[in-house]
Amino acid sequence: MANDFLFSDEEIEEEVQYESSWKIMIVDDEPEVHAVTKLALSDFSFQHHKLEFISAYSGAEAKELILAHPDTAIILLDVVMETDDAGLQVADYIRNEAKNQFVRIILRTGQPGQAPERQVIVNYDINDYKSKTELTAQKLFTVIMASLRSYRDIMALEKNRLGLETIIQASANLFANHSMDSFINGILRQLTSIINCTNEAMYVTSLIADNHIGHGELVVLTGQGEFANLEGKRVFDVITTDPLKQAFDEAIDNKAIVYGSDFVVAYCESHSDHGALLYIANISEELSETDKHLIELFTKNVQIAYDNVLLTLDIENTQKEIVMRLSESVECRSEETGNHVKRVAAYCRIFARALGLSEEETDTLVLAAPLHDIGKIGIPDRILNKPEELTEEEWVIMRTHASQGYHILKGSDKPIIKAGAFIARDHHEWWDGSGYPNGKKGSEIHLYGRIVALADVYDALRNKRCYKEAYDLERTLEEIKAVKGKHFDPELVDIFVDNIDEFEAVLASLPDK
């Protein structure tokens, strides 16, 4: 049988060392079959990658090895081993229990009549079915080559599917945190799967987005293969060789695509003056004209999409800054530094997290909280900054700031402004109904108003005001616990007490000056 494998004589070239390999699993209870198969395929390579052999000598061992090596490309599987259908049991296990639909299975048998060929191929997604006696070295070469091409194409389709899935998920909420990174990563994954020459690529930019800070210096926005998990790294800490640095400089200077021997550096067109580049590395074969056209399309379109998202983010950040500055301007009238509204916003995030609010609700609450005292803009300075106790008439005027704030903000269809209106209106309502302006009680008070009420009072107690000195932590806790269920929502008081260290940390990080 060993001689049958080597029936056709072929020259064996000097072995070449490659960076990666295709995994081939040989499953057969005859050791000589393993030896002869390895010898027959010793000089085999496909797309500049050699073969890596994994040996199993029983069906049970094969089941363990396929779990340990899910990236196996081909299994040369003997049908008859410890039992007459051991190989078929392995095939069934791979497809139905291990859920591996990618590996190509080539059945080999010394007893062709043992299993009906048509039924086996249909039921177990078998790539080929060969009698051991007919597998010469040339035929083995042919079947391995065909199966590897099939495996390569299947994996390219899977990679394409994952890339498309990433794009769809990111597109569902394109302006959320990090979604643009995911969007570009999905496109990058699809691009490399279509050109099918490499899995190593990264997208770099000097733009500022999410947590990536370029400040004009190129940083990695997203990458895959060896460049995965390098987000935020300086490009020239990753790319260190002079020829590659020169290629990057050339692409930027000429706003062009630079094709190297095994890499591509492509300048990505943009409405802005910021530089962005696509880098594809370790290309195993010459790019076709179609591949080059796809790269060109990527460079023309992806950065424009990214610029548009950054423009939207810039508008959103401008809106947030206006809200914060407006809130701070009101606090400055009452001789406070403005850090009060920043602290209240930070306290609200602690409450939101403990309550399990969604990310969207949390952001809305945190961004709207600084507007709680916006109505004070209508309160005279003589009352707002009076160091003595207010008269009853002055208290009547002071209490109008809640209603005034609501009337200033109401009627907007923007989530932050709408939330700000509810907070301004309700943050002086008391849990027992004795608050103002409407005497609401319990859950009638908007949740955001209940949260800001406690955050606001805690901050006022712990800091010096024109009418009082700062309280220490012990006295502050006593004051708040004393009005649990009366002034404040009992659940929120419990959250406050349980997380007091976090509140104190915020207080320490944003002190009044």
Other CB atoms within 10 Å distance of the CB of residue 363: 18
Give the H or E element holding residue 267: strand 264-267
Tokens of 384: 């707002």
Active-site amino acid positions: 376
Which residue bears the tokens 């199993």? 56
Q: State the DSSP code for 474.
A: H
Tokens of 186: 């999905």
Contacts of 447 (CB under 8 A, 6+ apart): none
- Whether the ω angle into residue 380 lies within 30 degrees of 0, i.e. cis, is no
Give the H or E element holding residue 106: strand 104-109
How many angstroms separate the CA atoms of 109 and 98, rounded? 23
- The pairing of strands 49-56 and 45-46 is antiparallel
What Rg, from alpha-carbon coordinates, does the chain have? 34
Q: Which residues of 29-49 are buried (b: 16+ CB within 10 A; e: fewer)?
A: beeebbebbeebbebbebeeb
**CA 484 and chain centroid, separation:** 41
Contacts of 159 (CB under 8 A, 6+ apart): 189, 190, 192, 193, 199
Collapsing DSSP states into helix, strand and coil, what is residue 51? Answer: strand
Burial class (CB in 10 A: 0-12, 13-18, 19+), 123: middle
Distances (CA, A) of 47 to 19, 196, 322: 12, 10, 57
- Which amino acid belongs to residue 37? T
How many angstroms separate the CA atoms of 78 and 337, rounded? 79
Give the H or E element holding residue 327: helix 289-333
Beta strands in 8-99 (DSSP E): 21-27, 45-46, 49-56, 74-78
Burial class (CB in 10 A: 0-12, 13-18, 19+), 168: exposed
Tokens of 152: 């390569």
210 near 312, Cβ under 8 Å?
A: no
